[in-house]
Amino acid sequence: MTGPSDVFASAVETAQKSTLRVEAGRCTRLTGFAFAADVVCTSERALRGSDVLRVVDQEGRAHEAELLGSDAGLDLAVLRARDASLPVLAVADHQSLRVGQLTLALGRPGAGIRASLRVVGLLSGEQQTPSGARLHRYIESDRGLPDGFEGGPLIDERGALIGMNSSSVWRGADLTVPHATLAASVAEILAHGRRRRGYLGVACQPVRLPAALRESLDQRSGALVLELEEAGPAQSADLRFGDVIVSVDGTKVRGPRELVAALRDKHAAQVELGYVRNAQLEKLSVTLKERS
């Protein structure tokens, strides 16, 4: 009769072929996993500043790798492994996860595969991170990641990929960035060499709205403009010091964090800003710049 331990051992056997050791410089060793036959995902934070990269597979074969781009908001670095043909994991449905479900984090900081049993401790729907990145689902496991597991995969009992493990996306939380979130960022990096972002050229802070506007807009706060970049998109469109941004293309903006998130995927696009000036709600078209 097959028990839980046999199920998880089989899951590791399935996933270990796609789980890689990432060597950065002389000392840094962390984990990555094959996203495509020659594309590897790993932790951006752990790689930062390294310029000598290799990935080592289960058989001990080393492949020189180059950094194609990164998305710091997701702690994601995307590497190209030269002359590699790596097996890719099946993908699990992150929407089917349940609190209390047992999963496995995999790591390969050394030659052998390592596994850490994880309980899904907290789940919620789509979330915006403190840096403005968007997670398709918030997935938190129950305890700290072992050393060398950063950038490695979280798998289910079938060995299917749930996402990438990181303790850097959200301070104080061990999160798994869902595969769907990774896929969107990886596609941008492969196409453009970077994760492009919309750029408005303002510095803001949260501010409480007047009572009448709070009621009419059904929101309590907005992003008060404190500084504008000279000849930046906002200044060129006649946004002014003291204006309060309350929406971008109809998406509510309650402060700087929501503003960054609303602009994140609107690189070099024209957007409609809703803002308050002299206690009156106004609208303005702004052509954003692109920031990598």
The CATH H-level superfamily of 197-291 is: PDZ domain (2.30.42.10)
In the chain, where the domains are located = 94-179, 197-291
In 16-124, alpha helices (H): 44-47
Query: What is the per-residue pLDDT across 227-251, written as a single tens digit (0 to 9) for each?
Result: 999 999 999 999 999 999 999 999 8
pLDDT of residue 194: 79
Beta-carbon neighbour count of residue 238 at 10 Å?
Answer: 9
Query: What is the per-residue pLDDT across 267-288, written as a single tens digit (0 to 9) for each?
Result: 777 899 999 999 899 999 999 8
> pTM here?
0.80
94-179: CATH topology: Thrombin, subunit H (2.40.10)
Contacts of 208 (CB under 8 A, 6+ apart): 214, 220, 221
* Mean confidence (pLDDT) of the chain: 90
Phi-psi region at 169: left, alpha or beta (left = phi > 0; alpha = psi -120 to 50): alpha
3-state secondary structure of 125: coil
Query: What is the per-residue pLDDT across 72-81, written as a single tens digit (0 to 9) for each?
Result: 889 999 999 9
Phi, psi of 263 (to 5 degrees): -90, -15
